[in-house]
Structure 1
Amino acid sequence: MTDNRLNGVIRAWEQGKPAFAAFSKVDKLTAQEMTDAPYDGIVFEMEHNPYDVGGLGDALQYMLNRKKIAESGSVAPSVTPLARIPANGAEMNQFQAKQVLDRGVYGVITPHVSTVEQAWNAVASCRYAKPKGAALYEPKGIRGDGPATAARYWGLSQPDYYAKADVWPLAPHGELLVGMMCESPEAIDNLDDILSDVPGIGLVLIGEGDLSQALGYPRQYEHPEVLDAMRRIVETCHKHKVAVGNPHTNAKNVERLLGEGYKFLMSAPSRSYGVVGQGRELAGY
């Protein structure tokens, strides 16, 4: 359903392409600038920045570029907004995913997910409840019902929003992307079980900073032990056909990352245009 796809990150993957993205502040002017950037998606960063749901709602409105929407014929923003929430996986949080989804984001990234139970909760928090025995019942949805703002932002009726607001690839028609940060040795040890047992994880984003800290080599991203840990993550994701992401893509490593099979490449906005152009040229489109 690529032609009707609202989520630009998922669209890129369905077309066999890597997706390019960046973190963004929850700020109206930054959001306005980002909607003209050459990204498939952006991630509003609320783990290390303030958790500001009201500000997120404002920023999302500034992501709507009327000219691009008119030219494309799509109701969706040309750059897909996602959100990274503050709560670590171990906190088993649910309300933050609910609130950012209710504002209209197309996906949620949860930091520090290390176990099957934590990953299950991350997916369930993004899903509406279904009748027991319904198709794709598990992970059982626990997202509270309050779709009015999100449906309006997506340009859909509430019934149409319900139909599309499920997690991909568990629901092939779903437009919501659930991402987990893999950033500890425990998470790496459990990743095979997580991706075997938890349907609905669409992205594993490597947290190189925290991972390198945990390994004893803070921010030494080229250290052999850090690279080996990242290699294990990538291999496990490839085994389960789950997209793997890198948050520190730059002109020096983009060719290597593409060659290793990364599908979600995040670069700093200050140098993004060149990196994205270089990455797309290397990827052949």
Structure 2
Amino acid sequence: MTAQRLNNVIAGLAAGQHVFASFAPAEPAAAIEFSTTRYDALVIEMEHKPWDVVALRDSLQYLLNRRQIAEGDGLAPALTPLVRIPANGAEKAQWHAKQVLDLGAYGVVWPHISTVEEARNAVAACRYPSLPGEPRHDPPGLRGDSPAAAARYWGLTNQQYYAKSDVWPLDPDGEILVALMIEDQLGVANLPRILDEVPGIGLVIVGEGDMSQELGIPRQYDHPLMVESKRRVLDTCQARGVAVGHPHVTADNVKQVLDDGYRFLMSAPVRSYPGLDLGRTLTGRS
């Protein structure tokens, strides 16, 4: 992917490529396991797993693979760490985003975003403040200033970190990814307004589990109601050039997932990675 980028997820999405990811808890042992895999990204799961920032800090360090970085073209880690925080969109918990970004995460996955107001908060929480009238002021940033640990993790000075730590694609050179999970019918209905009115959203992920619960068909992901809801999300995002993520990619469904138009593919954390390998083959990245 693009050498000058620090965030390989953004590099892949900006280039129109498919990005392959998995998920794991904030545990050093899991980080070591994933540090030599072929994934592009790892979503560290802190929504349904414990909120443990000390374990997250250690996990981020163990994800770094010095040989991969040394053999690469720059400072970008081969495996880009993102963090799914525990707060639902309506909870407005900016401090969760602040803490994971301050530790060095390259993006935040926000669960249960259903309204324009919640989406604006998600983007604003990942940005530093600026004065009205400054370029790209909206949404006004809410993130507090404590960059030292993140700058060290990225391999930058504090000032260099400030220059790169805005959200993409609002800032074309930004290295922070804001991913919104759409997990209910209110979110599906509001998604056109969310994407039209809130700049800075880099990825939308369909929350199949919770969405199927609301529809009364828990985990029946091929049910017609689910297929229709996912199609609405895909159509809305594709019309606006926003990539869509699928959270449950397997060897059995990866071809359909690719045919449907998903570009951020998350497979279960299994050792053989059949969905990953098949997906790379189908997209010419093997």
Normalised by the length of structure 1, the TM-score is 0.98
Counterpart in the other structure of 2:14:
14
CA distance in 2, matches of 1:112, 1:14: 25
CA contact (8 A) 1:2 1:14 kept: no
Q: How does 1:32-71 map to 2 (within 5 A)?
A: 32-71=32-71
Structure 1 position 261 matched with structure 2 position 246:
no
Unaligned 5+ runs, structure 1: none
Q: How does 1:207-222 map to 2 (within 5 A)?
A: 207-222=207-222
Q: Which amino acid aligns with 1:14?
A: A
**1:272 Cα deviation after fit:** 5.6
**1:11 Cα deviation after fit:** 1.4
Q: Which amino acid aligns with 2:115?
A: T
Q: Which amino acid aligns with 1:228?
A: E
Counterpart in the other structure of 1:238:
238
Counterpart in the other structure of 2:193:
193
Say which SS state the counterpart of residue 57 (structure 2) adopts.
Answer: helix
Say which SS state the counterpart of residue 109 (structure 2) adopts.
Answer: strand
Normalised by the length of structure 2, the TM-score is 0.97
Counterpart in the other structure of 1:169:
169
Counterpart in the other structure of 1:248:
248
Counterpart in the other structure of 2:160:
160
Q: Count residues with an aligned counterpart.
A: 285
Counterpart in the other structure of 1:80:
80
The Cα RMSD (Å) is 1.1
**1:144 Cα deviation after fit:** 0.2
**1:54 Cα deviation after fit:** 1.1
Say which SS state the counterpart of residue 204 (structure 2) adopts.
Answer: strand
Larger mean CA deviation between 11-20 and 127-136 belongs to 11-20
CA distance in 1, matches of 2:215, 2:276: 30
CA contact (8 A) 1:113 1:182 kept: yes
Aligned structure 1 segments of 4 or more residues deviating by more than 6 angstroms: none
CA distance in 2, matches of 1:120, 1:271: 37
**1:99 Cα deviation after fit:** 0.3
Percent identity among equivalent residues? Answer: 55
Counterpart in the other structure of 1:131:
131
Say which SS state the counterpart of residue 191 (structure 2) adopts.
Answer: helix
Say which SS state the counterpart of residue 181 (structure 1) adopts.
Answer: strand
**1:16 Cα deviation after fit:** 2.3
Q: Which amino acid aligns with 2:5?
A: R
Counterpart in the other structure of 1:180:
180
Say which SS state the counterpart of residue 86 (structure 2) adopts.
Answer: coil
Counterpart in the other structure of 2:146:
146
CA distance in 2, matches of 1:132, 1:196: 21
Q: Which amino acid aligns with 2:105?
A: V
Counterpart in the other structure of 1:94:
94
